[in-house]
Amino acid sequence: DIVMTQTPLSLSVTPGQPASISCKSSESLLHSDGKTYLYWCLQKPGQSPQVLIYEVSSRFSGVPDRFSGSGSGTNFTLKISRVEAEDVGIYYCMQGIYPLTFGGGTKVEIK
Amino acid sequence: QIQLVQSGAEVKKPGASVKVSCKASGYTFTSYAISWVRQAPGQGLEWMGWINTYNGNTKYAQKLQGRVTMSTDTSTDTAYMELRSLRSDDTAVYYCARINVWGQGTLVTVSS
């Protein structure tokens, strides 16, 4: 199975400041169909997870443009350009090649 | 509005089975696969498997092979996940998901 490793484990951010989370996969996530199946999810406290970004850098409808994803192959990054209070929660990267696996999560809190 | 609504919390004894339902609305059910993901208390997310709602094909996580069955009823736009031979470490919140739409979660507690 592909192992997903996220860093850091936690992040404390001042509102309005940027934040960045790294995710590394044990194998390339570039599929034979040319797509890279890397997703970013956010689980807010007490809520179900929500998927913010698919295929490395595409935002789902309704996701603020302060969230951006980048990377290729085995190295990926989620950036929040200006953190807001509503962004607190645990962020997970997830790879979409069978069997799907998740990173261990990065807890983001506000200073 | 697109949503997935799951069945309510369950308490089961070790060795029993549980069947969780996930009713879809607001979109064409057979156009999207449904995945099942679980989260043990205070832990991260674990993918359990997924079902192609169009043809019923399934793929399961290897560690659950033989204990889990995913199915659908296209007449009611409902997906099901059955887990058998329950153990205490199956205690978790179980989610169904259609990529960017997730159910509210179903807490399954396994306790004697």
A100: nearest CA in chain B? B47
| pLDDT on residue A24 | 98
Listed by number, the residues of chain A in 27-66 with a beta carbon closer than 8 Å to a beta carbon of chain B are 41, 43, 48-51, 54, 60
Q: Do A94 and B45 touch (CB under 8 A)?
A: yes
Q: Do A48 and B47 touch (CB under 8 A)?
A: no
Tell which residue, A23, A17, A46, has the closest CA to residue A96: A23
Query: Chain B interface, mutation test: which of A35, A94, A100, A102, most B Cβ atoms within 10 Å?
Result: A100
Q: How does pLDDT run along chain B (112 residues), one tens digit per residue?
A: 999 999 999 999 999 999 999 999 999 999 999 999 999 999 999 999 999 999 999 999 999 999 999 999 999 999 999 999 999 999 999 999 998 899 999 999 999 9
Closest Cα in chain B, distance from residue A3 (Å):
12
Tell which residue, A78, A63, A61, has the closest CA to residue A23: A78
A16 phi-psi bin (left φ>0, alpha ψ -120 to 50, beta other): left
| pLDDT on residue B34 | 97
A chain contacts of residue B99, beta-carbon cutoff 8 Å: 51, 54
Residue A63 reports pLDDT greater than 90 = yes
**pLDDT tens digits, residue range A66-102?**
999 999 999 999 999 999 999 999 999 999 998 999 9
| pLDDT on residue A6 | 98
Residue A44 reports pLDDT greater than 90 = yes
Q: Looking at the partner chain, which of A1, A60, A92 has a beta carbon nearest the beta carbon of B44?
A: A92
DSSP A45: T
Residue A13 reports pLDDT greater than 90 = yes
d(CA A20, CA B15): 44
Average pLDDT, chain A: 96
d(CA A49, CA A41): 6
User: If interface means Cβ-Cβ distance under 8 Å, which residues of chain B face chain A?
Assistant: 35, 37, 44-47, 50, 59, 61-62, 95, 97, 99-100, 102-105
